[in-house]
Amino acid sequence: MSSTLVSSASTQLPGSLRVVPLTELAETSQIVLSDKPRLINVTHQIPYSCTLVDRTSPAGASTTGANLSVGSPSINRRSPSVTPRQLASHGPSYFQDGTQSSAMGAACPSSDTHPDSDCVLEQRRGHSALYSGIKSLEKDMETIQIGWVGEVADQDGYVVPSKNLTESHKLIMQEKLWQKEKVVPIFLDDGRAAGHYEGYCKSVLWPLFHYILWDEATDGRTEKKNWEDYVFVNQQFADTVVEQYQAGDIVWIHDYHLTLVPHMVRQRLPGAAIGVFIHAPFPSSEIFRCLPKRVEVLNGLLGANQVGFQTYSYARHFISCCTRVNGYESTPRGVDALGSTVWVGTFPIGIDAERVERQRRTPGVLPKMDAIRKTYKGKRIIVGRDKLDLVKGVQQKLQAFEKFLNDYPEMQGEVVLIQVTSPPLVENPKLEAKVAELVAHINGTYGSLNFTPVHHYHQHIARDEYYALLSVADIGLITSVRDGMNTTSLEYIMCQSENHGPLILSEFTGTAGSLSGALMVNPWDYQGVARQLHKHVLSHTAQIWAKTFIAELTLNASTWDQSTPTPYLNVSLIMDHYKHTKKRLLMFDYDGTLTPIRKTPGAAVPQEHMLRALSSLAADPCNIVWVISGRDQIVLEEWLGHVANLGFSAEHGSFIRQPGSQKWINFTESLDMSWKNDVLGIFNYYTERTPGSFVEQKRSSVTWHYRLADPEFGAFQAKECQNHLENAVLSKLPVEILVGKKNLEVRPTIVNKGEIVKRLLHQHPDVEFVMCAGDDKTDEDMFRALAELSNTQHSSNAVGGAQKVVDEAAESYNHNLVAETATKFAEATLMHSQEHSLAVPQKNSIITARDGPYLKRSVMVEGDSSSFGSESATLSSTASLGSSMSSQGSTPLLGGNEPFSITIGQALKKTLANWHVTSPEELIRVLSILAGTDEV
């Protein structure tokens, strides 16, 4: 696939990072999913640690002579995160069959190719929930794992510098890892790896994501170097993904170490389905905006189709950052950025409940449980297990325990705290010293010769000891001050299925949000709390997390809202189609389409040459002309009511008036409009604080205008107001926010301009020419309705469940309310047909989409078989579900001609229209040419 970029419009960022919108790519493509897609998982490190073994050395001999160890052994041992192990003097022969490895693109040589060395793999400690969830997907799809190889050790446990790794060593590890579990390792220079991980990830991103701001002032040179390393490493990962990618694959990228990879891959593979999951917390915009490279990091993540987080608050923070920092428009479900809609979701990770249950019942656990009980006989055991990081709250836990012993002296000698702290990848000597000091202080103050209140173990403990400790504990204590998803709490609950000990959990952990419902019980009912928590853990396993994320990514990728540059309207082509058709449907928005946008709504009066062209078009008996506007009925009647044979739709489809009729039909009178009071309160709040803004009330919607406000301050306040509405109103009421030109409008979700377009096409199935023009987001509903008539629905096994998901999502809507509104559409159309004797479809008349069926969710309204009311009056239960008319039968819509959907704006504007003009004046000129009141 081509990786050429349009350099003229691209933005060159520091560190050689280029951000290019999708609409500017030389090659654009819809998302492609194969029938059986492969899954490419991209993590910072591979799940295995690698040890090189010298086959020629006797057992236990040093490998220094083979250039596999360097420097002082005291400072070059591998990180303690790797489990110590005993190695055989000679590793087994793994490559004797000479089979071909598709990861390398070449045949794997036999073992004789590497006669002097071998590689031993061992499962890496940590991230067990992540790897378990990914591994569970192997049952359903082929899975490839990409990651940095990490520290490579020799057989004596000393780290091998990257410069000492020969191509032969690398090939051994590549072959072994591919044969093990289709793992593709990435080899990085030690300096680049350190700058990426210790330099940028752990010194810049990790503190910021955990609400810790930097307290050291520097000249910026170190930060610049670390950023360059971060970009370089991300590019290495992106290049590896592109090398492994096959058309139709799914790419899943994990965590903050690789935030730039999604956009880098998107530039090379515009049609790839890409998902990102951030396992760490995501900070609020007030914290995130402190990051110097904030725009680049956000744009990097927005190269994905879907971004997932552990909790709803983290997802909300990300969307807020995209809106407030980068200025992108957003909804509660996603962000419109770089030419596409990126879906944002919450996918709380769990644990592998079956594995934990199996491992905690292994024979080695029971003897250790007995040993712990004997050691602390007669004592209540409080257990804590954390990584020794600042955000894990170990200091706060020790201080709280000291306060407990001080306030309740009768508990001294009765309660013991066993705290296990696993060493982090990057040591923190100051924190270690502080913790050791607190432990010594508590033991010295409240301990005695025969009793020690705090037992602190700063080390990795064996799995059997860990599960034994969780099983015998009386209380689990987790006091993280900020955490992504603390799985220790879930493992504790699993191990407490017999003991039923309570869990004291910090509200700042990711699991607190997931477990809050189960904790709403009597706190003294320990058994009841444990039972509810245990039930929750089983229903939120790591396997369910992985499958849910991939299912959502597959669905969102198959329906990705990606727009491409629109060509300028071909006047000759539209004239030719217009002249050679006998029945035509023309639909126009008003503000910004038939008249330019004015600073005040009342100033947008129609111009004479526009009225002349519109009147001429409406007077043609072959034409059916409608103005579908957000304006109210009074304004439309005052400005355009004198134009004969002109149909009107007011307030975005809430009211209609048929051509030649004087009666307005209200489609919203049965709707509950009490939401307007909440919206007015928010709009009035921002009006008081935004000079030049004002509120416009309509019968079915409320609009906040800021055209007269300071442009920058008005736009900023609009984003703040939109976020306020999304958090306070959208989450609980059936309304939606329309982001217009210098305004925000709130309306019921059940009514929009697209439904009017569908009604008109249903009423006039024999039209041969359709023209529709608009300028803002409210008009995209019209373009979407027309696009559904000409787009082919993708039908592959990978997305075969999309219809089921859509149907299930639609079931939550009030079908009675939808049916009532649909009935009003049918009644209005029937009334018009009786008044004007227009041709109407008979009972079995059916409309067909040219290219095939598409997703729909409709309500059938039955009536008299002799009237239009007997037809299937459909109304979408929600526009976003892509509802449409029936798509069966044999009558081709538009006589096989494509509709002319025209947007007012630039070619790179994100739109579903298929043509554009740059101003209302240009559109009016085209209308004048079609009406014969102007010359070409």
pLDDT digits (tens, 9 = 90+) for 88-144: 333 333 223 333 333 333 333 333 344 456 888 888 876 667 777 788 888 888 999
> What pLDDT does residue 843 have?
32
Structure-block tokens of residue 157? 């446990």
Structure-block tokens of residue 828? 């209005």
% of the chain surpassing 90 pLDDT: 29
> What pLDDT does residue 254 have?
94
Residue 816 carries which DSSP code?
Answer: H
Q: Which candidate in 589, 632, 776, 781 is catalytic?
A: 589
Non-local (6+) Cβ contacts of 340 within 8 A are 22, 305, 560, 561, 562, 563
Find the mean pLDDT for residues 399-405: 82
Query: What residues pair up with 346 in beta bridges, in sequence order?
Result: 309
Euclidean distance between CA atoms 581 and 515, whole angstroms: 63
pLDDT greater than 60 at residue 736: yes
Higher pLDDT, 771 or 887: 771
> What pLDDT does residue 563 have?
55
* pLDDT tier at 564, thresholds 50, 70, 90: low
The per-residue pLDDT of the chain, averaged, comes to 75
Highest mean pLDDT of the ranges 65-74, 511-520, 565-574: 565-574
Give SS3 for 721. helix
Q: Is 219 a catalytic residue?
A: no
> What pLDDT does residue 542 have?
63
Find the mean pLDDT for residues 196-222: 85
* pLDDT tier at 192, thresholds 50, 70, 90: very high
Which stretches of 434-509 are assigned E, i.e. beta strand? 454-457, 475-478, 503-505
Non-local (6+) Cβ contacts of 126 within 8 A are 81
Find the mean pLDDT for residues 231-260: 94
Find the mean pLDDT for residues 916-933: 92
Biggest alpha carbon distance in the chain?
106
Find the mean pLDDT for residues 734-755: 85
Lowest mean pLDDT among 33-37, 121-125, 344-348, 423-427: 423-427
Find the mean pLDDT for residues 850-861: 30
Lowest mean pLDDT among 161-175, 642-656, 878-892: 878-892
> What pLDDT does residue 861 have?
30
Find the mean pLDDT for residues 317-339: 86
Nearest alpha carbon to residue 117 among 96, 93, 101: 93
Distance set, CA 138 to CA 39, 134, 142 (Å): 9, 7, 6
> What pLDDT does residue 854 have?
27
In contact, 488 and 385? CB cutoff 8 Å:
yes
pLDDT greater than 60 at residue 325: yes
709-723 as b/e: b if 16+ CB within 10 A? beeeebebbbbbbbb
Find the mean pLDDT for residues 14-18: 45
Nearest alpha carbon to residue 885 among 854, 910, 907, 906: 854
Non-local (6+) Cβ contacts of 412 within 8 A are 405, 446, 453
> What pLDDT does residue 792 have?
37
pLDDT greater than 60 at residue 541: no
Nearest alpha carbon to residue 488 among 509, 507, 474: 509
pLDDT greater than 60 at residue 612: yes
In contact, 633 and 656? CB cutoff 8 Å:
no
pLDDT greater than 80 at residue 67: no
Higher pLDDT, 260 or 495: 260
Tens digits of per-residue pLDDT, 805-833? 334 333 333 444 444 544 544 454 344 44
Highest mean pLDDT of the ranges 89-103, 257-271, 419-433, 480-494: 257-271
> What pLDDT does residue 812 have?
35
Amino acid (1-letter code) at residue 162: S
Lowest mean pLDDT among 112-126, 222-236, 317-331, 877-891: 877-891
Higher pLDDT, 560 or 332: 332
Residue 728 carries which DSSP code?
Answer: I
Tell whether the torsion through CA atoms of 81, 85, 87 and 93 is positive or negative.
negative
Find the mean pLDDT for residues 413-442: 85
* pLDDT tier at 527, thresholds 50, 70, 90: very low
Higher pLDDT, 217 or 708: 708
In contact, 436 and 457? CB cutoff 8 Å:
no
